């Protein structure tokens, strides 16, 4: 199983597109949608809701916001 460079989806190695660069790096894209967004349009994968990178980034921000709220509640309790 290989993982798409753009969206993070795992598929069998005989599906999708493998692009091999001159430096020997191998990029795997599961669909033309991912390939076009990454190479042609040069988009950031963290900004699209359908990518795994966006979901991971969103989880991190939710955890950070929850910690900030908990810290703020502790400080308010100490003051009162």
| 9-56 pLDDT per residue, tens | 998 888 899 999 999 999 999 999 999 999 999 999 999 999 999 999
Report pLDDT for 78: 77
Report pLDDT for 28: 95
C-alpha span between 21 and 72 (Å, rounded) = 49
Place of tokens 């003051």: 79
Report pLDDT for 52: 92
What ranges do the domains of the chain cover? 2-79
Reported as a pLDDT band with limits 50, 70 and 90, residue 80 is low
Considering only the C-alpha atoms of the chain, give the largest distance between any 2 of them, rounded to a whole number of Å: 64
**Under CATH, which architecture does the 2-79 domain have?**
Roll (2.30)
User: Cα angle at 63 between 60 and 66, to 5 degrees?
Assistant: 150
Q: Would you say the pTM of this structure is higher than 0.85?
A: no
């Amino acid at each position: 199983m290989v993982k798409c460079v753009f969206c993070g989806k795992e598929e069998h190695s005989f599906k999708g597109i493998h692009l091999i660069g001159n430096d020997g790096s191998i990029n795997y894209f599961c669909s033309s949608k991912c390939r076009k967004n990454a190479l042609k349009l040069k988009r950031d994968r963290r900004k699209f809701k359908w990518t795994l990178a966006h979901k991971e980034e969103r989880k991190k921000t939710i955890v950070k916001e929850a910690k900030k709220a908990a810290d703020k509640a502790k400080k308010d309790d100490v003051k009162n």
